[in-house]
Amino acid sequence: MSNIKVGDKVRFLNSTGGGVVRSFKGKDQVLVEDEDGFEVPALIRECVVVGDSEMQVHSSRRSPLPSTTQAPVPQPQKPEPQPEVEKVTETAEGERLNIYLAYLPIEPGKVMQGSGYEAYFINDSNYYLLFNYMNRQNNSWNSRYNGMVEPNTQIFLEEFGKDKLNDLERICVQLIAFKKDKPYSLKNAISVELHLDTVKFYKQHCFMENDFFDEDAMVYPIVRQDIPEKELLISATELQEAMQQKVREDRRAPQATIVKKKANDHAILEVDLHIAELLDNTNGLSNSDMLNYQLEKFREVLAQYATQKGQKIVFIHGKGDGVLRKAIEKELKTKYKQHYYQDASFREYGFGATMVTIK
């Protein structure tokens, strides 16, 4: 038998044509696939090997080569699913941290009755934030919500009723800012403690128009333009003192606003009602809020000395636009008719003070 094998390219000796040997038929014949894809029987002795199987065969009827000679056909592979890349819309202003807490009444029309409330965390920046929202209980802290918030996003923290308001007098927010898969400016880790005046939650006017919600809300800044409102860097003793005073951190004792001057049998008391003397931080307070606070201080002092007949008290309200002066006079004419009042000494106070005599 000739050295013809499957896959050889042959031509016929006694006739035109040829092709590729696909198989053997008996001992002396082979099946040759021609250019049209047809398998033609031929005697082995009438075939001459002229090359390998690179001969082009165009028909789809082409017979597969035996497994010993057939090269594996590569199979197309499915592409690996790629994780979705989060798309963050950044703004020029967002390169600085502006972080807020917001409180909204669930039933805006029932604030005076103590509607339930919702708390939100607002991230107005281009940074992801890992944060922890806490409240102080006794001498320790309780985490109310912790997690991560995406850039330029606000998230719901919790819903609570009026019976839980006292738990929120002292709150703290700790946070770390970063970006994903891109370079960014390093921001320091931040811990900010705030005091919430829970009385405001019962006052409709304290919930105001804002940039973040369609509804009125109380918005407390945590960080503004990369600057924390008030970092938690005070001792436990100072913290306890701040909780008791409830209004300011470094203010002296309440009696410090009252100065005594001798006059006959009673010392004249001076009470400075300028808002800068009463509060060292008025962030988030409207003019109406500040006026109400000044009037509350005025009433507190009158209540303190209500039984001391003949006591003279000078309330320093300043000249300004006369708003506080008129409000004090209205209080004296309606709620404190029993007391006598007049302008305080012009030489000492100009037009900026009113003297009340307890009757």
Same structural domain for residues 128 and 11? no
pLDDT in tens, the chain (359 residues): 457 888 888 888 877 788 888 888 877 888 888 887 788 888 888 888 876 544 444 333 334 444 444 455 566 666 666 655 566 778 888 899 999 999 999 888 887 776 789 999 999 999 999 999 999 988 889 999 999 999 999 999 999 988 888 888 899 999 999 999 899 999 999 999 988 888 888 888 888 899 889 899 999 999 999 999 875 444 455 556 656 665 444 444 344 355 555 544 468 899 999 988 888 778 878 888 899 999 999 999 999 999 999 999 999 988 777 889 999 999 999 999 999 999 888 888 787 899 999 98
Same structural domain for residues 274 and 188? no
Q: What is the pLDDT of residue 65?
A: 41
Rounded Cα distance, 264 and 176, in Å: 62
End residue of a domain, out of 183, 215, 239: 239
Q: What is the DSSP letter of 202?
A: G
Q: What is the pLDDT of residue 206?
A: 86
84 domain residue, yes or no? no
Same structural domain for residues 171 and 278? no
Q: What is the pLDDT of residue 240?
A: 60
Q: What is the token pair recorded at 6? A: 């499957």
Domain count, the chain: 3
DSSP, collapsed to helix, strand or coil, labels residue 212 as coil
Q: What is the pLDDT of residue 233?
A: 47
Rounded Cα distance, 59 and 280, in Å: 93
Q: What is the pLDDT of residue 82?
A: 61
End residue of a domain, out of 13, 42, 62: 62
Domain range spanning residue 315? 251-357
31 domain residue, yes or no? yes
Same structural domain for residues 215 and 256? no
Rounded Cα distance, 221 and 240, in Å: 23
CATH number at residue 117: 2.60.40.1600
Q: What is the token pair recorded at 79? A: 């592409």
76 domain residue, yes or no? no
78 domain residue, yes or no? no
7 domain residue, yes or no? yes
Strands (E), 207-337: 218-224, 227-228, 258-263, 266-272, 312-316
Rg (CA), the chain: 44
Same structural domain for residues 271 and 345? yes
Same structural domain for residues 105 and 225? yes
CATH number at residue 24: 2.30.30.520
Same structural domain for residues 124 and 225? yes
Check if the beta carbon of residue 305 is closer than 8 Å to that of residue 314.
Answer: no
| Phi-psi label, residue 258: left if phi above 0, alpha if psi -120 to 50, beta otherwise | beta
